[in-house]
């Protein structure tokens, strides 16, 4: 018995640290919930196009699918793949440099097993596709996570990748467009990554599953287009997403012949060959499927825009970066939300109470925490129903019930931000007194450090307050002003007295453990006293929900410019809450009206009374400034008329663009030409 048990334990050693994908785990859980709406697993809503199915039916009838193909795949299919690659600027030999695989994950597994040794380290961007971590571990390697720059739409951070390097680093594995963020990494970023791989003799393994779903006009660029480095590039593609073929399990990889020769051995050992019936489907997809890709892409873009509109209506809950590709959005949960820093708990609570399946952000790497992933590749009615349920789940009444339940429940230790946002009620008055005293002391210290940092660096502070679209305004203002200035738009949304100093100092407390708290305070002291890196402009959200919130915020900083957006929220008809918002805006207006300049939504009736609190007239923005003429969309500012060709989604983004232009025209040195260039950036679907 003992010997048998020991053998069994050894048999499980390879999988001891491997977990079932959290995406699949969520789908399993959702399958047990009646009437659930799933925005979790990355399955597109479209069926496989009819020409593909008809072609395969013909091949089945001919008896062509009953036997194995050659291990690398059907010669005709590999030739067709080579022709498609050549059209995209990549020259690969169909006989020696292409393998047809059982989907992309098998291709990734075969590549890692062939090109690495146990103990090697693989750099993954964070966030990135959840299954990458597990396939790296199955290969006997260790994943190292390089965080992306969220404040720049999850762009590559070369320093973060450099810091992950060690003598054991063997490869970088990433996805472009990125799953889960929808980021499309530019040619400049890609070439920087190639240079990094060359300097340190690394493989670049790139998964381009979503390359056909890009919503910008910038030409998509793959490292496989650089012929000089083909020996270190392995490029992988799957037919699953582009052609509505997730169930067919077919894809391909291509690389230098020497790499492919080794990968082929593993591919043969794993699957012998990709399913022949699926290979014929892939052949039909390449020959007949192009027009269907265009249809899918246009539909996904429309669904993306619908999803972002819904997210804007939940701006008290979510902060997001606009996805440029794929069909995912990866919004950050604001710290005022219960379980904001426990995305597993939040995702399963949403599943239980709202019957909506989403994927917890932590599944995609350490920097994914405090996010969820939403799939907008689903049907439009599913997206609409899901957000109706999410709106109810995150409504103020539901939030109050959740906070009450959380305070009564016995829970593991919460993260720092969650503990700050919703502190548990101590059981005895002495504990309550001690907690409040410690917290008040921490607020005083952090506030003093933040004010010292502001005094030393003297950035211009732009604050955004109101109910609608604060995060969109922050993104647009930052993008416009960053053409000339160093702008710090902390990506996290801090709506607490202790959170605002953290945002100013640009630090985050990872947990409430003593070690992390000590490190956080040490970073705060160093930033305030010694850090010489100073932004020209600091963009902050002033989120208020309760009386007294604004007074706490302006004790830390009184902004130089304040943008007041719509007060009337889409998520509440609570008259008392609306009066509270008005009163809190008046507090800001009276804080230092002589020096703070205001940009205000002049069409919101709730802000009309607030405007009377100002000692000097504000700059009022009206929707009538927008017009559609024969030449296209026009924006009339107080100073000039601009032609607007950049993609704008919904009223929130229109107001955001208008506010950004007003700030740039009146209180910066940006030229009209720079503003026009920003407004002329065309990011419409190809």
pLDDT at 13 over 80: no
Q: Compute the average pLDDT of residues 468-476.
A: 85
pLDDT at residue 340 greater than cutoff 90: no
| pLDDT value for 682 | 60
**Predicted local distance difference test score (pLDDT) of residue 563:** 94
Band of the pLDDT at 97, cuts 50, 70, 90? very high
Report, as an integer, the average pLDDT of 74-80: 97
Q: How far apart are CA 573 and CA 378, in angstroms?
A: 30
**Rg of the chain's alpha carbons, rounded to an integer?**
27
Per-residue confidence (pLDDT) for residue 426, from 0 to 100 = 37
Confidence at residue 523, expressed as pLDDT on a 0 to 100 scale: 83
- 3-state helix, strand, coil split of the chain in percent (to 5) is 50, 15, 35
| End-to-end alpha carbon distance in the chain | 64
Sheet harboring 487-488: ordered strands across? Answer: 487-488, 537-542, 460-465, 561-564, 597-601, 619-621
CA atoms within 13 A on the CB side of 152: 13
DSSP state string for 55-96: HHHHHHHHTTTSS---TT--HHHHHHHHHHHHHTT----TTT
pLDDT number for residue 374: 97
574 pLDDT more than 70 = no
Q: State the DSSP H helix or E strand holding residue 368, giving kind and residue range, or none if neither.
A: none
The pLDDT-based confidence of 113 (bands split at 50, 70, 90) is very high
Determine the average pLDDT of the residues in 218-233: 94
Report the mean per-residue pLDDT for the chain: 87
Per-residue pLDDT for 396 more than 60?
yes
Q: What is the mean pLDDT of residues 229-250?
A: 96
Tell me the β-bridge partners of 203.
Answer: 171
**Whether pLDDT at 427 is above 80:** no
Q: Does the pLDDT value for residue 51 go beyond 80? A: yes
Distance CA(66)–CA(47), nearest Å, equals 24
Instruction: Check residue 296 and give its pLDDT.
Output: 96
The pLDDT of residue 514 is above 70: no
Crossing angle between the packed helical segments 22-30 and 130-138, to the nearest 10 degrees: 120
Q: Region 209-233: what's the mean pLDDT?
A: 94
pLDDT of residue 416: 36
Confidence of residue 156 (pLDDT cuts 50, 70, 90): very high
39 within 8 A of 390, measured Cβ to Cβ: no
Out of 1-5, 318-322, 329-333, 533-537, least confident range: 1-5
> Does this model's pTM top 0.75?
yes
Cα 474 from chain centre? 16
Instruction: Evaluate if residue 608 carries a pLDDT over 90.
Output: no
Report which of 237, 162, 221 is spatially closest to residue 196, judged by C-alpha positions. 162
Q: Give yes or no for residue 413 having a pLDDT over 70.
A: no
Mean local confidence (pLDDT), 144-167: 92
Q: pLDDT: is 336 or 304 the higher one?
A: 304
Could you report the per-residue pLDDT of 14-23, keeping only the tens digit for each?
A: 777 888 888 8
pLDDT of residue 1: 42
The answer to whether the peptide bond before residue 177 is cis (omega within 30 degrees of 0) is yes
Residue 198 near residue 166 (C-beta atoms within 8 A) = no
What confidence score (pLDDT) does residue 424 get? Answer: 40
pLDDT score at 417: 36
**Nearest residue to 539 via CA among 552, 566, 520, 557:** 557
How far is it, in rounded angstroms, from Cα 539 to Cα 506? 11
DSSP-H helix ranges across 409-529: 416-421, 429-457, 470-481, 499-505, 514-529
pLDDT at 429: 45
User: pLDDT over 70 for what percent of the chain?
Assistant: 88
pLDDT band at 313 (very low <50, low <70, confident <90, very high): confident
**Rounded CA gap, 299 and 283, in Å?**
24
Cα torsion angle, 79, 80, 82, 87, sign: positive
Pairing of strands 626-629, 632-636: antiparallel
Which of 208 and 506 is assigned the larger pLDDT?
A: 208
Least confident of 425-434, 436-445, 512-521: 425-434
DSSP β-ladder status, 203-207 and 356-357: unpaired
Q: What is the pLDDT of residue 127?
A: 96
Average pLDDT for 341-350: 93
- Residues in contact with 254: Cβ distance below 8 Å, sequence separation at least 6, in sequence order: 81, 85, 90, 92, 97, 98, 99, 224, 234, 235, 260
Chain centroid to CA 182: how far? 7
- In terms of DSSP bridges, do strands 251-255 and 233-238 run parallel, antiparallel, or are they unpaired? antiparallel
Flag the least confident range among 77-91, 155-169, 434-448, 641-655.
Answer: 434-448
CA distances from 461 to 455, 563, 596, 597, 653 (A): 12, 11, 10, 11, 21
The yes-or-no verdict on residue 317 having pLDDT over 80 is: yes
pLDDT reported for residue 650 = 79
Query: Taking residues 645-659, what's their average pLDDT?
Result: 88
Average the pLDDT over 269-277 and give the result: 97
Residue 109: its pLDDT value, please? 97
Strands in 218-338 per DSSP E: 233-238, 251-255, 318-319, 328-329, 332-333
State the pLDDT at residue 511.
53
Q: Give the number of residues written for the chain.
A: 686
Where is pLDDT greater, at 652 or 348?
348
Task: Give the 3-state secondary structure of 307-371.
Answer: HHHHHHHCCCCEECCCCCECCEECCEECCCCCCCCCHHHHHHHHHHHHCEECEEHHHHCHHHCCE
Cα 403 to Cα 301: distance, rounded to the nearest angstrom: 36
């Amino acid at each position: 018995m003992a010997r048998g048990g020991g053998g069994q334990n050894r048999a499980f050693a390879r999988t001891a640290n491997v977990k079932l994908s959290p995406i699949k785990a969520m789908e399993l859980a959702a399958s047990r919930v009646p009437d659930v709406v799933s925005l979790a697993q990355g399955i597109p809503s479209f069926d496989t196009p009819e020409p593909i199915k008809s072609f395969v039916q013909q091949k089945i009838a001919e008896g062509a699918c009953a036997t194995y193909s050659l291990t690398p795949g059907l010669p005709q299919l590999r030739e067709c793949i080579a022709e498609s690659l050549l059209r995209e600027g990549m020259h690969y030999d169909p006989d020696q440099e292409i393998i047809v695989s059982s989907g992309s994950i098998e291709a990734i597994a075969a590549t890692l097993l062939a090109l690495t040794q146990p103990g090697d380290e693989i750099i993954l961007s964070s966030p990135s596709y959840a299954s990458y971590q597990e396939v790296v571990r199955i290969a006997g390697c260790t994943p190292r996570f390089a965080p992306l720059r969220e404040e720049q739409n999850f762009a590559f951070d070369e320093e973060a990748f450099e810091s992950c390097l060690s003598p054991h680093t063997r490869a970088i594995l990433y996805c472009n467009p990125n799953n889960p963020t929808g980021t499309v990494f530019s040619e400049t970023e890609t070439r920087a990554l190639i240079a990094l791989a060359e300097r340190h003799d690394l493989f670049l393994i790139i998964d381009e599953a979503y390359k056909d779903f890009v919503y910008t006009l910038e030409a998509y660029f793959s490292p496989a287009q650089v012929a000089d480095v083909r020996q270190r590039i392995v490029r992988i593609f799957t037919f699953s997403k582009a052609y509505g073929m997730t169930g067919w399990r077919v894809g391909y990889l291509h690389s230098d012949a020497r790499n492919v020769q080794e990968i082929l051995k593993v591919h043969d050992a794993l699957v012998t060959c990709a399913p022949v019936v699926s290979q014929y489907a892939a052949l039909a997809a390449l020959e007949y499927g192009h027009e269907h890709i265009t249809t899918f892409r246009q539909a996904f873009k429309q669904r993306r825009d619908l999803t972002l509109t819904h997210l804007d209506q939940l701006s008290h809950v979510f902060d997001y970066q606009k996805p440029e590709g794929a069909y995912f959005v990866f919004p950050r949960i604001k710290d005022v939300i219960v379980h904001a820093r426990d995305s597993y708990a939040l995702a399963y609570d949403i599943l239980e109470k709202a019957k909506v399946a989403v994927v917890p952000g932590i599944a995609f790497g350490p920097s994914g925490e405090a996010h969820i992933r939403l799939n907008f590749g689903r049907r439009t009615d599913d997206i609409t129903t899901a957000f109706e349920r999410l709106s109810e789940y995150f409504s103020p009444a539901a939030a109050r019930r959740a906070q009450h339940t959380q305070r009564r429940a016995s829970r593991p230790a919460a993260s720092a931000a969650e503990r700050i946002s919703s502190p548990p009620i101590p059981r005895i008055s002495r504990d309550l007194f001690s907690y409040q005293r410690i917290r008040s002391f921490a607020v005083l210290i952090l506030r003093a450090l933040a004010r010292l940092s502001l005094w030393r660096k003297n950035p211009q502070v732009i604050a955004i307050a109101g109910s609608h679209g604060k995060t969109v305004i922050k993104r647009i203002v930052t993008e416009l002003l960053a053409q000339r200035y160093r702008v710090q738009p902390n990506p996290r949304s801090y709506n607490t007295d202790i959170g605002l100093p953290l945002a100013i100092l640009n630090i985050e407390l990872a947990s409430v453990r003593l070690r992390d708290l000590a490190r956080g305070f040490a970073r705060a002291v160093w930033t305030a006293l010694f850090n010489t890196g100073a932004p020209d402009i600091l963009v902050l959200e002033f989120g208020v929900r309760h009386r007294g919130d604004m007074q706490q915020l302006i004790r830390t900083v009184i902004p130089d410019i304040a943008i007041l957006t719509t007060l009337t929220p889409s998520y509440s008809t609570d008259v008392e809450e609306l009066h509270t918002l008005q009163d809190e805006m008046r507090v800001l207006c009276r804080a230092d009206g002589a020096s703070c300049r205001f940009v205000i939504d002049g069409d919101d009736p709730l802000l009309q009374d607030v405007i009377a609190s100002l000692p000097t007239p504000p700059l009022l923005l009206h929707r009538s400034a927008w017009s559609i003429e024969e030449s296209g969309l026009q924006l009339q500012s107080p100073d000039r008329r601009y032609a607007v060709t950049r993609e704008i989604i919904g009223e929130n983004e229109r107001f955001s663009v208008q506010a950004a232009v007003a700030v740039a025209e009146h209180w910066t040195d940006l030229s009209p030409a720079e503003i026009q260039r920003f407004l002329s950036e065309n990011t419409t679907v190809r």
